[in-house]
Structure 1
Amino acid sequence: MNYLKNLLNLHADEEERSAVIQNVSKNISFKGANLWILACAILIASIGLNVNSTAVIIGAMLISPLMGPIVGAGFSLATYDFSLLKKSAKNLLVATIVSLTVSSLYFYLSPFKDAQSELLARTSPTIYDVMIAFFGGIVGAISMTRKEKGNPIPGVAIATALMPPLCTAGFGIATFNLQYLLGALYLYSINCFFIGIATFLIIKYLKYRPVVTDNKSYDKKLRYAITVMILVMTIPSFYLAYNLLNEKKFTQNVEKFLNSEFYNNGYTVIYKKVNYSTKKKTIELAFLSKQFDSLEIKQFNKRLSNFGIENTQLIIKQNTSDLKAEILSEINKRSTDVSEKDLQINLLNNELKAYKFENNDLKKEVEILFPEIEELSMGKVKTYHTKDSVSTTTLILYKSATTTDKERLSNWLKTKLNDTNLKVVNEQ
C-alpha cells in the first residue's frame, strides 16, 4: 500500500509554491514581447491552415503563449485569488481579440480562401477534444508544479491546440462564414474551459493555500463568489461533454446502420448529411443509381431503432434535379477529386432511368402469342395532368401485318407487367 502511495505521490519533486505562483503570474501577461510572439504564432498557424501543413501548425502551437492566462484562471479559482483571476481573464480576452484580428486580416488579404482539411477539422468539436483538453490540462498543471519542467509542456501546447481554432474563427470572419466562426469558437471555448478545470483540480489536490486578507468578511464573500463561478463554469462544461459523447455514439450507430443496410449491399452513397440535434435528428442520403420506393424507405426508418438510433428520420433524396448543388457543396467540403462533369453524368444517368424500359423476354413472348406483330417499341413517358400533377406511364407501340386484338394485347401486357396504367398504341 505504501509502495502504491509513493508511486502516485504528486508531492515528490514539487517546486516551491512561491516560485510556482510567481511563474503563473509571469506567464499571464500579454504585452511587449509576449504580444509580438502571439501575433507571429497566429500568422504562422494561419499560413499552416491555409497551405494545409500540419508541421507548420505544430510549430505555431509550440511558439504560442496562450496557455498562460488559461492556467492562471484555473490556478486563481483554486486558490481564491480574485486579483489573479481578473488579470487572467483580462489577458485571455486581449489574447483572443488580438488572435482573431491578426488571423482575420491574414485570411482577408490572402488570395487563397479554400477551406482545407486542417481548417475544417477545427469547425466541429467532438468528445475527443474535451478529453484531450482535460487530460492535457492535467499534464500541464502537474508539469507547472515540478522543479524539472521536462518535456510535457511542449506536448501539452501541441495536444490542446488552442491556436488553430482561433485561426479558423478568423477565417470565418474574413470569409463571412458564420458556421466556421461559431464552430471554431465553440472548440476554442471547450479547450479553455477544460484546461482551466483540469488545472483547478490539480491545484486543489495539491492543497495550495487559499489567498486570505485581513478582512475575514471579504474573504468569505469572495470564496462564495468564486465557488459560484466554479459551478457556473463546470456544470455546463460537463453537460456539454455529455452531449458530445451522445453525439459521438449517435454518429457511430449511424455508420453501423449505413454499413449494414447500404454499403454492404453494394449501394454507392454520393451524398450524406447527418444532423444531430435534441429536437430533430435526420440522416439525409442520395445514391448513385439505386432508387427506393416509399415502402422500402418506411422499412429503413423502422430498422433505425435496431441500431440504437431513436427519434431520427431517414430521408433518401431521389429527385436528382434538387441534389446537384447539395452534392457539390458536400464534395467541396471533403476536398475530393470528383469533378462537376462526373457528377452531372451520374445525375443525368439517374434521370434517364426514369424513362428507361427494358424487357428482352417480353418481345419473344409477344412473337409467340401475337405473331402478326412486326415491330414493338417500349418506353416510359411523362404525362402532365391538370393541377400541375405529373405521372410516368409505360407506353407500348406496335405495328402488325394484319388486324391485332388490341384489347387482348393490352390486358395481357397489363397483367404481365403488373401495370394497370400501361397504354398500348397501334402505329398504323
Structure 2
Amino acid sequence: MSIKEEQETIKEKIKKMFSLSEDSASNEEIRTRLLDGGKVTGTNMCVLVCAMIIASVGLNMSSTAVIIGAMLISPIMGSILASAYASVAADYPLLRKHALGFVVQIVISVTAAAIYFFFSPVKEPTVELLARTSPTFFDVLIAFFGGLAGIIGQTREDKANTVIPGVAIATALMPPLCTCGYSIANARWDMLLGAGYLFIINTYFIFLSAGIIISVLKIPKMRELTEKEWKRRRFRMFINTIIITLPSIAAVFVMIQ
C-alpha cells in the first residue's frame, strides 16, 4: 500500500470515527423525540414549578447538591431543542408554537422563584446567587459544547440517553432564572441584568449548537429555502452570535485585570 493510500485510509477511519450519521436515529424518531420533549403540558408545568422552587431553595441556602437536583428534573431545555428543530426544518408555525411555550415557561419559572424569594426570610444574596450574575466567555463555551453534546445524545439510535442529565447540569438554565426571581423580589436590578444575560447565553448557544447538528443530519424540511434566504439567515445568526458574545469576552478581560 502506497503512502497516499495509507493517508486516505487514515482519513476515512477518522471521518468514520467522528461521523454523526453512523448511529443516528431515523428522521421520524428524531422529530418525535425533540418535539415531544418540547411540549408544554400540565405535567411539565408542575414539574417546572417544583424544579424552580427546589433550585431557589438551593440558591438561598447555598447548597450545590440541591441546585444540581433541580437542574436534573427541569424540562425547560426541551423547548429549546424543539425550537431549533423547527427552525432548521423551516416549519415556522411549529417554531412559533415552541418559542411561545418557552416564553411561557420562562414567565412561570421567574414568577415561582420571585414568590419564593419574596417570602423567604433569607434576603442576603448567597455565593451561589452571586455566581450567576457575572457571566464570561467561558459560559459561552460551556453552553455551546453542552448544547452539542445534548443534541447529539438526543439524535442517537440508542434511546437510553445518558447525556442530557449531564448537559442539564453543565448548561445551568434554572439557576439564572431563579436569580432573576431573587432580583425582582428584592429589587436587585444589578443582579437581574447579569443573571438574565447568563440565561440568554445558555439559551442562545444551546439553540445554535442544536441547529448546527440538526442541519448536519439533513432532516427533512417543510420547504427548501432559496440561496438568498440561506445567506440572510446565516448572516443574521452571525450578527446575533457576535452581539451576544461580545459582553462575555469583555468580562474575561475585566476578570483577568
TM-score, normalized by the shorter chain, greater than 0.5 = yes
Q: Trace 1:42-57 onto structure 2 (pairs within 5 A).
A: 42-57=52-67
TM-score by length of 1: 0.55
Superposition pairs of residues 25-104 of structure 1, within 5 angstroms: 25-104=35-114
CA distance in 2, matches of 1:229, 1:106: 40
Pair 26,165 (structure 1): closer, same or farther in 2 beyond 3 Å? same
Q: Which runs of 5+ in 2 are unaligned?
A: 1-10
Provide closer, same or farther for how the CA distance between residues 246 and 114 of structure 1 changes in structure 2, counting only shifts above 3 A: closer
Whole-angstrom distance in 2 between the partners of 1:230 and 1:155? 29
Q: Which of 174, 196, 200 is residue 207 of structure 2 equivalent to?
A: 196
Preserved contact between residue 127 and residue 241 of structure 1 (Cα < 8 Å): yes
Q: 1:241 to 1:181 in 2, by over 3 A?
A: same
Say whether residues 1:177 and 2:177 are aligned partners: no
Offset at residue 230 of structure 1 (A): 5.7
Alpha-carbon distance between aligned partners in 1 of 2:233 and 2:112, rounded to the nearest angstrom: 31
Instruction: Spell out, residue by residue over 1:133-178, the C-alpha distance to the aligned partner (whole angstroms, 9 max, x if none).
Output: 0000000111110022432110000000000000000000000111
Give the secondary-structure state (helix, strand or coil) at the position aligned to 1:210. Answer: coil
For 2:84 and 2:238, the matched residues in 1 are separated by: 11
State TM-score, norm by structure 2.
0.90
Q: Where in structure 2 are the equivalents of 1:224-239 lying within 5 Å?
A: 224=229, 228=232, 231-239=235-243
Tell me, in whole angstroms, the C-alpha distance in 1 between the residues paired with 2:86 and 2:138.
27
In structure 2, what is the Cα distance between the partners aligned to 1:20 and 1:97?
Answer: 28
Q: Distance in 2 between matches of 1:8 and 1:178?
A: 45
Partner of 1:332: none
Q: What secondary structure does 1:125 align onto?
A: coil
1:196-253 CA-partner distances (Å, limit 9, x unpaired): 00001111111212123xxxxxx658x93x874664344232343244224313431x
Distance of 1:118 and 1:81 partners within structure 2:
39
Alignment check: 8 A CA contact 2:71 2:174 kept: yes
- 5+ residue gaps, structure 1, are 213-218, 255-428
Equivalent residue number for residue 24 of structure 1: 34
State the match for 1:135 in structure 2. 145
Larger relative contact order (C-alpha < 8 A, sep ≥ 6)?
A: 2
Check if 1:241 corresponds to 2:251: no
Specify whether residues 233 and 181 from structure 1 end up closer, same or farther in structure 2 by C-alpha distance, changes over 3 A only. farther
SS at match of 1:112: coil
**Matches for 1:24-423 after TM superposition, within 5 Å:** 24-148=34-158, 149-212=160-223, 224=229, 228=232, 231-252=235-256, 254=257
Provide the identity percentage.
Answer: 40
Displacement of 1:26 in angstroms is 1.1
Larger Rg: 1
Larger helix fraction of residues: 2
Q: Which amino acid aligns with 2:162?
A: N
